[in-house]
Amino acid sequence: MGTNLARKILSAHLAEGELTPGTQIAIKIDQTLTQDASGTAAYLQFEAIGLPRVKTEVSVSYVDHNMLQMGFENADDHRFLQSTAHKFGLFFSRPGNGICHQVHAERFAVPGKTLLGSDSHTPLCGGLGMIAIGAGGLDVAVAMGGGAFYLIMPKILGVKLTGHLQPWVSGKDVILEMLRRLSVKGGVGRIIEYTGPGVESLGVIDRTTITNMGAELGATTSIFPSDEQTRLYLEAQGRGESWSAWSADPDAEYDELLEINLDELEPLIAQPHMPDNVVPVREVAGIPVQQVSVGSCTNSSYRDLSIVAYVLKGKAVHPNLSFTVSPGSKQVYATVARTGALADMIDAGARMLESACGPCVGMGMAPPSNSVAVRSFNRNFEGRSGTKDAKVYLASPETCAATAITGVITDPRDLGDYPDIAMPVRFDINDTMIIPPATESEADSVEILRGPNIKPLPRFGQLENTISGEVVLKVGDNITTDHISPAGAKVLPLRSNLPALAEFTFERVDKTFASRAREAVSGFIVGGSNYGQGSAREQAALAPRYLGIKAVMAISFARIHRSNLINFGLVPLIFHSQDDYNLIDQADRLEIKNVREQLRAGSEVVVRNLTKGLEVTLSHNLSGHELEILLDGGLLNHLKVQAANN
């Protein structure tokens, strides 16, 4: 049998291990990216590692999240990021240049390469034939220093696409169909590789929409082949020399298979409050809507906005709603301006926002209270929009535009003829908003600019041999990193200020959590299945650790969050069953004796529930590498121990 594409690229970058699903491997990383909400901590961590310069082929620092400058914090952090990039050898994408994933696809993505990004939607670049993986900022800092990225080898799920998308159906509907079938947990432990005759009919924009939202499936990454469509895209970006063909062998073998007939897809929509709560648009058509937003890293391309402009031309946004558009990059913004599409949207009443994540991450444009919002974004978690009681639906730009002019959720097929949007043969390239790094000789004289919002990294000790305390919080299934460490205009600017940020931990679940955790001094969190899904934000592990949490027990963990827990010295333990989960309640006092010896001895760990007078046996699935990191109290400590021993 032949080899699939994911295994080909992983094999070419394999640093340790064998490509056997379920076993630990390490891969060499060619490129990294950070965004400003995660980048401040990542560069403090890179600085703590002690290397003068990045060792990757390309590393880029983007500013796209913390764009609302309501105080000095964001502006100061931008100066910090620009100065660290200049000194350490990174490209710096200035505020206003665009959303990291959109810009990276335009200017830096290379088929066959590996990319590690401190943002969960980094897999967008898998649409151009890369192995692109989201991770915590500390893992990215290590990769910038030339270190390998460790992960559990996923299964490869082959998704065979047949047929062609019908009018008013787009790549967004393909990934919503995947979520409908598999759920937000269905991609855990998997790389999703798209194959089959239907692939060649999808342009890069549809492909990157699909791979971007593979994060919502919980997948390690998603990937399309690099083919003629990829070549045309890169040539349009003036980067034709970066193209090379990458594809699976004709008789490639997959661990699992799934098939989607594109001919049969119709416009789909994800209902509140999960991306997998998917139904056909026609089933919810007619619901009045108060806000529509197009943009985010998922659907903010030239093609997306051109379709919106086509629908809006000569019409007006419905008077009962507000309609916002966020172009994904400066290039997209400038191109729709040159073609006249921008004027068509403005004339119709669209509110044009800057090229940034914006409303998707709660940075402005919160919907009205108790309202319905339809967004072309990737997440609709409760409260993420900034309005806790808003009902947020996720849909394609086509559905969003149709809804914007009718005022109710509308199947775009009701609009009539579908536009034929031609992609430019060559975009106008203007990279003045990307600042190259200083040369090595110049770097010594570069001063890192630190505002008062940049706080030093906390120092943690090694894992204690006995950990005890109360269960500070018990939660259910599908707890997201938005639940743990909220985004939004109020909290996101504090990502480099852990003492201030920690006060908001679990604020949307229990406003007393931070104070109770501090009072407990040492404590535990209990969660259900898929604990920590969503964003890659490592602060969702770092803040609880700072507040005294020592271990998190859950039925299952999301991949990135589990890694972040280990990187900051928190023990991730797994319940064997729902019945065992039911044996521990909030406020119970727990004790784990000889935890270091128990972790080393095998996969089981005995937890004593002192309140109920019983014992519960949990398990861990730590690799040898992860175990050593955990015993040392986290990845930075582990690197220092390694350096001292060499």
Catalytic residues: 64-65, 119, 379, 535, 537
DSSP lists the bridge partners of residue 114 as 131
Q: What angle do CA 243, 247, 250 make, to 5 degrees?
A: 150
Helix (H) or strand (E) segment spanning residue 155 = strand 155-162
Q: Is 99 helix (H, G, I), strand (E, B) or coil?
A: coil
d(CA 325, CA 65): 16
Residues 583 and 606 sit within 8 Å (Cβ to Cβ): no
Place of tokens 């990769």: 143
The residue type found at 227 is D
Residue 34 DSSP one-character state: E
Does residue 163 contact residue 198 with C-beta atoms inside 8 Å?
yes
| Separation between Cα atoms, residue 560 and residue 120, nearest integer Å | 8
Sheet with 190-195, side-by-side order of all strands: 221-223, 190-195, 155-162, 256-261
CB 104 within 8 A of CB 115: yes
DSSP 54-73: --SSEEEEE--S----SSHH
Instruction: Write phi, then psi, for 302 (nearest 5 degrees).
Output: -55, -45
Residue at token pair 């050898």: 89
Q: Which residue(s) pair with 160 in the sheet? A: 195, 259
Q: 121, 111, 119, 148: which is closest to 6 by C-alpha?
A: 111
- C-alpha span between 529 and 574 (Å, rounded): 10
Could you give the dihedral angle defined by the CA atoms of residues 115, 121, 127 and 132, in that order, rounded to the nearest 10 degrees? 20
- End-to-end, the C-alpha distance of the chain in Å comes to 43
Element (H, E) at 81: helix 72-88
Alpha-carbon span 453 to 445, nearest angstrom = 23
Q: Give the list of residues 6+ apart from residue 410 with CB closer than 8 angstroms, or none.
A: 281, 285, 399, 402, 403
CB atoms inside a 10 Å sphere around CB 173? 29
Strand partners, 592: 467
Phi, psi of 205 (to 5 degrees): -65, -45
Distances (CA, A) of 266 to 172, 281, 640: 11, 8, 54
Separation CA 322–CA 339 (nearest Å): 24
List the beta strands (DSSP E) in 360-485: 372-375, 391-395, 434-435, 467-474
Separation between Cα atoms, residue 582 and residue 78, nearest integer Å: 46
Q: Which two tokens stand for residue 477?
A: 């299934």
